[in-house]
Structure 1
């Protein structure tokens, strides 16, 4: 299993965080109360879900291990296939978290704090190592790469009703393309010239291919 290079994953992740920060600077309460690409979720619900995940990511970095990697940038997602039924318990929990704020933008300050912590931690990583996360062992470059995908896809989820909102960075979308290529095969991906369209189809947000990302 060849590790995804940290030197590729790191700048893409930092750019994805910058893109998410730009989006959060752009939105107001009405924007976050708009529909998302996730069925039944408002944009604020998606943001709450993403924030819960990023906090979990932050806690994952110290879980270093000498065990060999058993998952990588692509195979990590095979535990969460795009065709699975929704996790109603988590969806309801994310919605409850978002609803706990007095107004939709109330959670932005908390998200921004987490983004600052992640930005500093990832920028300061001194080299490759392996870590345990959600029952998997991943090289840190693969771990960071999976979260590039998560941030980019949910960024797209939150902007379906906001055509003028900042888009995810090209480097982040390129990591999504690499992940989909590994999962679906280069022949499937070859016909997709637009990385955003590929990301939406590969996650089941738009038609065009069998979903391979959750």
Structure 2
């Protein structure tokens, strides 16, 4: 298995964090922040605040995953990692939906959640910016090259960024570099990547995750 290039994964992830930080600024707006946090998202059963809580839980898990280095050979790539998750359109995990909503509801003000997320984003930015050299990590029962690990989180951040902006006028979009990683991931999962021809990267991300139905492609990314 050829690892995803570390320089590319690092750059795209840092860009994705910049995009997320810009979105956090939009959500923390003094006048409209609380209303924006209560806007609908693309995830069934979740408001923006709930999606942000879910994403934050994942980013904390990512942060905790970096020390889990191993000498075992990699058994999972940036693309095959997603095979463990059902494609979009499946019935949501309602227990997790309730859990994320409970976390979001625990903040005194909806927009106060942003402060907590920013702390995690800063920590990840420093850690990923300092990555150098190849090594492997154990994560969720898989072994991945660190570059593949980072690339999977580019997808997670970018897709949930799109989830949160569906009903937010003027919200910043995710970066082109992050969307390009999503496209590469989808292409690697398809038996024939020609199905992506003529589609822009945002369309690929939304259709391939089941956010937007399209029989010409279908959902392949969980």
Task: Map Cα deviations across residues 95-124 of structure 1 (whole Å, 9 max, x no partner).
Answer: 100011111111111100000000000001
RMSD: 0.9
| TM-score, with structure 1 as normaliser | 0.97
Partner of 2:10: 10
Misfit runs of 4+, over 4 Å = none
1:180 is aligned, of 169, 176, 186, to: 186
Residue of structure 1 equivalent to 2:118: 112
How much has 1:61 moved relative to structure 2?
Answer: 0.4
Unaligned residue ranges in structure 2 (runs of 5+): 28-32
TM-score (structure 2 length as normaliser): 0.94
Residue in structure 1 matched with residue 177 of structure 2 by the alignment: 171
| Aligned twin of 1:63 | 68
Q: Verify the 8 A CA contact 2:44 2:92 in the aligned structure 1.
A: no
Deviations 1:114-143 (A, max 9, x none): 000000000011211100000000000100
The answer to whether the 8 A contact 1:81-1:211 is kept is no
Residue from 31, 34, 38 that aligns with 1:29: 34
Paired with 1:104 and 1:5, the residues of 2 have a C-alpha distance of: 38
For residues 189 and 207 of structure 1, the distance between their equivalents in structure 2, rounded to whole angstroms, comes to 14
Give the total of aligned pairs.
213
Are the counterparts in 1 of residues 45 and 97 from structure 2 also a CA contact under 8 Å? no
Residue 191 of structure 1 deviates from its aligned partner by: 3.3
Matched, 1:213 2:218: no
Write the distance in 2 (CA, Å) between the matches of 1:33 and 1:187. Answer: 38
Distance 1:213 1:20 in 2: 21
Instruction: Provide the rounded CA distance (Å) in 2 between the counterparts of 1:170 and 1:10.
Output: 14
Deviations, residues 49-73 of structure 1 (Å, cap 9, x unaligned): 0000000000000100011111111
2:156 — aligned with what?
Answer: 150
- Distance between the aligned counterparts of 1:93 and 1:82, measured in 2? 21
Matched, 1:130 2:136: yes
Higher mean C-alpha displacement, 111-120 vs 97-106: 97-106
Is the Cα–Cα contact under 8 Å of residues 36 and 43 in structure 1 kept in the other structure? Answer: yes
Query: Contact 1:34–1:43 (CA<8 Å) still a contact in 2?
Result: yes
Q: For residue 164 of structure 1, report the CA deviation from its aligned partner.
A: 1.1
